[in-house]
């Protein structure tokens, strides 16, 4: 295979025709994303792609959620690293975000670059996954369709993100779990399923939603990405999942937010917040 050359590399707007190449690039990094997972993120995003010799060698997306953008799927082919391509991709998607608050989840390798570009640490994300096992629920949890507008209002109150269309799409293809003062969405992702977001007014409701998700997925692969600040990672481990990594939550140009009783205990994904 010809070694990619930065001089002949083009940076282009990311379009649907680039999805197969982007998938191949993420698989080369051992990321678990399926074509459907890329498509879901792309459905609420703009972005750029680096192409060399007809092959995708870099990707970066900017997902729009009203006043907030999440920057994600930032990947550079191993042979292209250390030449400034990552910085170029980041600068392009920062421009796409315009005046929005920007959030991302950084790997240890990417964090120095993001700090140089003005991002600041704001927390830790813990990725937990494994074969789920059933658990006792502290609060009753119901399964079934719910008014997507109600879910979106709770989600926005918790996160500041406006993503009603995204949540409606996830709910249509997945399972909605609802308890007094919170909800969670369960969907196919990567090697199995992912539970997120988990939005609740208190930790007891969040634990019940997580326990209900694990019970529904008992004997199957489940992933949950939690904010370390809530201290629920040890509880998630009792559901059969183990911590396998995570990343540093970072923010650029943060906006003031109204106080809310709701909090986000688990992410939709590290890409989408």
Task: Please report the pLDDT score of residue 1 as a whole number.
Answer: 46
Domain for residue 147, yes or no?
Answer: yes
Chain-centroid distance, C-alpha 44 = 12
Residue ending a domain, choose from 99, 118, 149:
99
Tens digits of residue pLDDT in 135-189: 999 999 999 888 989 999 999 999 999 999 999 999 999 999 999 999 999 999 9
In the predicted model, residues of the chain with pLDDT beneath 50 are 1-2
Domain co-membership, 262 together with 227: yes
Q: Provide the CATH number for the domain around residue 32.
A: 3.40.630.30
Beta strand extents in 66-100 (DSSP E only) = 68-76
- In a shared domain, residues 142 and 251: yes
Residues 56, 135, single domain; the answer is no
Count of structural domains, the chain: 2
Quick one: 140 and 250 in the same domain? yes
Q: Give the pLDDT confidence score for residue 19 in this predicted structure.
A: 98
The predicted structure's pLDDT at residue 211: 98
What is the predicted pLDDT for the residue at 258? Answer: 87
Domain check: are 169 and 205 in the same one?
yes
Same domain for 240 and 166: yes
113 in any annotated domain: no
What is the CATH classification number for the domain harbouring 181? 3.40.630.90
Q: Are residues 145 and 240 in the same domain?
A: yes
- Tokens 């199957």 belong to residue: 220
Q: Is there a domain that residue 179 lies in?
A: yes
- The verdict on 133 and 230 lying in the same domain is yes
Q: Could you tell me if 71 and 152 lie in one domain?
A: no
Last residue of a domain, one of 81, 99, 117: 99
CA–CA distance, 62 with 272 (Å, rounded to integer): 9
pTM value is: 0.95
Query: By residue range, what is the domain housing residue 20?
Result: 10-99
- Rounded distance between C-alpha atoms, residue 89 and residue 157, angstroms: 31
Write the CB contacts of 198 (distance below 8 Å, at least 6 apart in sequence).
Answer: 182, 183, 184, 206, 209, 210, 224, 226, 264, 265, 266
Domain shared by 86 and 132, yes or no = no
Residue 190 lies in a domain: yes
Q: Is residue 57 part of a domain?
A: yes
Q: For residue range 201-223, what is the model confidence (pLDDT) as tens digits?
A: 999 999 999 999 999 999 999 99
């Amino acid at each position: 295979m010809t070694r990619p050359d930065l001089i002949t590399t083009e940076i282009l707007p990311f379009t649907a025709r680039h999805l197969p190449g982007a998938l191949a690039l993420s698989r080369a990094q051992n990321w678990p994303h399926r074509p459907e997972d890329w498509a879901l993120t792309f459905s609420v995003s703009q972005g750029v792609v680096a192409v060399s010799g007809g092959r995708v060698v870099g990707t970066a997306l900017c997902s729009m959620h009203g006043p907030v953008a999440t920057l994600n799927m930032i990947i550079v082919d191993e042979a292209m690293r250390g030449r400034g391509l990552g910085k170029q991709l980041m600068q392009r998607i920062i421009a796409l975000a315009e005046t929005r608050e920007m959030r991302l989840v950084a790997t240890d390798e990417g964090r120095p670059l993001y700090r140089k570009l003005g991002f600041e640490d704001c927390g830790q994300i813990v990725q937990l996954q494994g074969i789920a096992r059933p658990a006792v629920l502290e609060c009753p949890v119901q399964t079934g369709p719910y008014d997507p507008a109600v879910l979106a209002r709770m989600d926005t109150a918790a996160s500041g993100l406006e993503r009603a269309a995204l949540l409606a799409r996830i709910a249509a293809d997945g399972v909605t779990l609802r308890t007094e003062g919170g909800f969670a969405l369960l969907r196919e992702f990567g090697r199995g399923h992912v539970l997120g977001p988990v939005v609740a007014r208190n930790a007891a409701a969040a634990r019940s939603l997580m326990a209900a998700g694990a019970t529904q997925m008992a004997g199957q692969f489940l992933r949950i990405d939690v904010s370390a600040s809530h201290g629920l990672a040890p509880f998630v481990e009792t559901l059969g999942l183990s911590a396998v990594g995570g990343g540093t939550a970072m923010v650029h140009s943060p906006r003031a937010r109204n106080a809310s009783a709701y909090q986000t205990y688990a992410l939709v994904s590290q890409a989408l917040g």
